[in-house]
Chain A
Amino acid sequence: MSLEEKLEKWRRLEEEAKEIRRREADWKFIESLPPKLRVALKYYVEAGDLYVASRIAGLTIEEFNELRKRAGIPNVS
C-alpha cells in the first residue's frame, strides 16, 4: 500500500470516528454545561483527542473521560 493509500485509509477512519462521536453525543447535555467544559467536549467530538480536550476543560484526563461518558460521546479507537 502506498503512502497516499495509507493516508486515505486513515482519513476515512478519522471521518468514521468523528461521525460516530457527533451522532451519539448528548448535545442537550453538552449545551447545558459551563463554557470551558462545553467547548472542550465540542473539541473532543471534532478531534477525538482526550489529552488536549482535558487541558481545555482544566481537568485531568480521567476527570474529562468521565465527563465524556456523561455526554454520551464514545471513545472511538
Chain B
Amino acid sequence: MSPSDFAIADTCFLIDWSYWSCRDVLFKLFRAIFVSETVLREVKSERAVEWIATALASGQLALYTEAPDVMGLATRIVERSRLVPGLRGVDLENRGAIMAVDLLEELSGVVVWRALEVIRGAIKRGFIAGDPEQVFKLYEEETKHRFPRAELEAVISELRGEAREVAQAGGGGEGD
C-alpha cells in the first residue's frame, strides 16, 4: 500500500477545502478519503453537504465510524500531547496534530498534510497546472485561508525550481 492510497480528513480541512473551485483534485491524490461521523455532524451548507454526499456516493470519500479501540488510542495520544510543555493539544486545531508528529517520536511515522501540502502534492503530480503562487492565492481568496508566509514561499520556490528543471530537461531533449 502506498502512502497516498488512503487519508483521513478532519473537519476544519474539509470545510475549507469544500469551498475551493479546485476541490475535486483531492480525489486524484488519494484512492479513498475517510471522513468520520463527527465531521459530518459539523457540515451544514448545501455546497459542502452536496459535495461530500456526491463523493461518498462515488466512493471517493468513505464514512468512518470511530470504534472504541480507536477512541481509546486517540485519548491516549491526546493525553500524551497535553503532558508536553509547549505542545498544543492534539485535540485542538490542526497545528496540534502537526506539532505532535514533529515533536513526539512515537508519532514520527504519521504524515499530516495541511491544505498547503495537499496543494503542493497536486501541483507536483501535475493535477493542477499554472503558476504555483497563483494557485495558492486562489485558495486563500476562495476560502479566506492564510498560509504562513515563510512556508508558502519555500513551497513556491521548490515547485518553481522543479518546473524549471523539467523545462530544461525537455529543452535539452529537443536539441538531441
Interface size of B by CB at 8 A reads 31
Residue of B nearest to A7 (CB): B86
A10 with B93: CB separation less than 8 A: no
Residue of B nearest to A72 (CB): B144
Interface size of A by CB at 8 A reads 30
The docked-state distance in angstroms from the alpha carbon of A62 to that of B44 is 6
Mask, B83-114, CB within 8 Å of A = 1, is 00011100011110001001100000000001
Residue of B nearest to A69 (CB): B144
A68 with B93: CB separation less than 8 A: no
Please tell me which one of the listed residues A16, A20, A48, A75 contacts residue B16 in the complex, with CB atoms under 8 A apart.
Answer: A75
Mask, A15-59, CB within 8 Å of B = 1, is 011001000000000000000000000000001111110100000
Residues of A within 8 A of B149 (CB): 16
Secondary structure at chain A's binding surface: helix, strand, loop or mixed? helix
Residues of A within 8 A of B159 (CB): none
Residue of B nearest to A48 (CB): B93
Does B146 sit at the interface, judged by CB under 8 A? yes
| B interface, CB within 8 angstroms of A | 11-12, 15-16, 41-45, 48, 86-88, 92-95, 99, 102-103, 114-116, 140, 143-149
| A interface, CB within 8 angstroms of B | 3, 6-7, 10-11, 13-14, 16-17, 20, 47-52, 54, 60-63, 65-66, 68-69, 73-77
